[in-house]
Structure 1
Amino acid sequence: MKIFEHWFHGLENVYIYHKNLAILSLVLVIIHGQIQGQVPHWDKVEKTSFSEFAKELGSLGQYGFIALILIALFAKFLKYEHWRIFHRLLLIPYTFGIYHAYFSSRYDLLQPTPLGIFTAITATIGFMSALYMLTMYQDMFFKYQGNITGIKKLGSNVIELELTLDRKLPYRHGQYIFIKILQDGLEKAPHPFSISGGDGNKIFVTIKALGDFTKNVYDSVQLNTPVTLDGPYGHLNFENGAQQQVWIAGGIGITPFLSYLQSQPVDRDIELFYTYHGQDNAIYKEFLQEYADTNQQFKVNFIDTTQKDRLSFENFSVSAQTSIFMCGPEKMLKHFDKQLKSCNKDISVDFEAFKFK
């Protein structure tokens, strides 16, 4: 939901809070199971068939949560479509837990007490959210439809797709979208990609073959394949930045910056640092160099880590009015963010990290 992206300053941060709340919830469930027998006079609570059954379901729910989360820890070894199945199975132990709460509690949660109202609200939100994800999300949010009308391979592992949509997608340069490519043999689950250009009716996305899905797209995607889109997302906003800007891109992280450069002449002073590992990963290098040669306000620095030392921003000072935008791998961006802020205390640094875990 767009409002959460705004509140947490980026969809990747929503995922981080989601994960941390899930970890906290599991810890509390385990603690609850361990200390329940230590509650004074617990054995004097009236036992019924409902309460005994609810107690058993509570134990099953706890074991179910633990088992599914242990499986999730191995997500990097699973195909995304398989991981999604395990993630959705969490609804089963959640249902067991709700039944357990209502029918084994020493408090009557069906009464309109503060605790009863709180439990009813959270349980309702939980069930509605789960059912929404299972039944309605794919239809309600993927409302932009179109076809792949252009395919260009930019190297041994990078491909650019031109998407022609049935209606205009309003987006801001630097944002990304979730795409479902509806071609037999390709995973139907949505995947996020930065918009690298376009006018809204036509959208360009540049994809690097890093995993099973993106490798399959690179090898076998076909013209006229139907697509559906959800978005746009992303909080990078070059237009609202200062007149003086520094851009930092790592590998495929160059794509959100391309959207801005290809749409209009630069009207502010921008210096781009583009780091990559080997020439095969230096996509759009010729375009960037030509752009710098013809625009005095734009400067580009190419850092090939197979030929030079890794990019560093130690003792890199800029004026307090400078806006810094970064996109690339999360570990790299957090390292640069720390370096930049160590010698520029009041500087504005915005970045989009490639991580949704």
Structure 2
Amino acid sequence: MTSLPIEAPPGQSAVAAKHEPRRHIVFLGLRGIPNVQGGVEKHVEMLAGELTACGWDVEVIGRSRYLPHAGTKTWNGIRVLPLWSPRKMALEAIVHTFLGVWVAAWRRPDILHIHAIGPALLVPLARLLGLKVVVTHHGYDYDRQKWGGFARRMLKLGEYCGMRLSHGRIAVSNEVARTMSSRYDAPVAFVPNGVTVPHNRTETGILGEFGLRPKRYVLLAARFVPEKRQTDLIKAFAACGHADFQLVLAGGAEFETPYSAEVRALAGSVPGVVLTGFQTGDRLAELFANAALFVLPSSHEGMPIALLEAMAYGLPVLASDIVANKELGLPAADYFPLGDIDALARGMASKLENPPSDEASHEQRLHVEQAYSWPSVAEKTLQVYRSLLAR
């Protein structure tokens, strides 16, 4: 790789920059950045920004249909390259990753960092082309309800390739890290998702746009996919007996499916349900800041960024009792049995009737800021990179 002149990035002294050569990393396996819907996308967007601030030369290969520009663009010091992918759910990620590996081989980065076990199927090709590869396991994607038998087998094969054949391995969940280390007899670093703790709030007018009142609505921010279980939440909202509140579903579907159609139809039949579509930036921040309660009823998570974001706003939260959610160690009253709509309705009613004190909200925000900051996530990721580059 052609060496780049060493310049101190924002927040880093020139002396510190000289002590460590400027390294080049390529991220692959995601739709793109910035402001693209998805947990992996949010993870890479924030991590890439932190690595840039640490003096790394960062490039993200995204899928052109999710990016509004043609050709390589620099965003906050990160190079973002749109690359074609087919508009078919079963092929989009794997074809894009295949092409992206060849692009990475041409770029010759110090590290190719592949995210998620589906794209990890291409680790053997990346190694064959002489690339040093790190894979982050974001969760058991083969447990997602949308996949059939063949796709699930391919995802499990991708997990094997990522955990056995990559040079470095990361998992966003402690449980996933332990399981992968045991299953594949290889070290897997636990590096959690992070969260940006909000300090300044900007009014965007989104509340008025959708007829919402501050602290009078329940919020879920998630894609319309079966494992997020928006239908459970809508049914529970209808049964919880709080007609003076609204339910806001912030999100959408990359591909229209029978499930996304079911969500829209059910939402239309229940008074008080508001569909805002996918939101990001200040508009999403305003929805979080003014919610009365955040609910995450999902059946599958790696490590739930949206739940962490809600906690960072000091919101009361209610989540399904799956392993990924319970790893956050919330009080028992913050969980309900997965799929139990009656229990979810009771939990929502109780939370709405008993909002937390200002002191409790402050303590929650402080805990999230200390435990899940992105600078901490970046430093733990850099430890994996440095270990690999030192070999």
Could you say whether these structures have the same fold, taking a TM-score greater than 0.5 normalized by the shorter chain as the test?
no
Q: Give the shorter-chain TM-score range.
A: under 0.3
Using the size of structure 1 for normalisation, the TM-score is 0.25
